[in-house]
Amino acid sequence: FLTFEYLMRLHTRRTSTPRSSIPAPLIALYGGIAGEVLWLSSYPFDVVKSKMQSDGFGAGMRYANMRDVWRQTWREEGMRGFWKGIGPTCVRALPVSAGTFIVVEMVMRAMG
């Protein structure tokens, strides 16, 4: 939401127009950009979370804790290990976030 609100306020300041006059395609664009920023800033944490979730239990357990996930991923795969799958995630995030933010903004406008 931080990126979206920043872009919306930047638009209103640059154009000297009220928020309610920002057209839907621009709202969708700003929402899509906000989604991309979110994923780019948090993706390594999501990778670690996913590795913890898919880890086995008992004898099949590979990681002792989150720190161990970070350590093993860094040792075995380097920095690239924390970014595997970022491409499809970003391709998916743009339209999903654009749709989410346009719907929220239009509902807020309709509610007054």
**Which tens digits make up the pLDDT trace of 9-34?**
999 999 999 999 999 999 999 999 99
- pLDDT for position 58: 86
- Residue 28, phi then psi, degrees to nearest 5: -60, -45
CA distance 28 to 34: 10
Residues of the chain with pLDDT > 90, as a percent, come to: 94
What is the average pLDDT score of the chain?
A: 96
Task: Say if residues 27 and 105 touch (Cβ distance below 8 Å).
Answer: yes
| Residue among 35, 58, 14 at smallest CA distance from 104 | 35
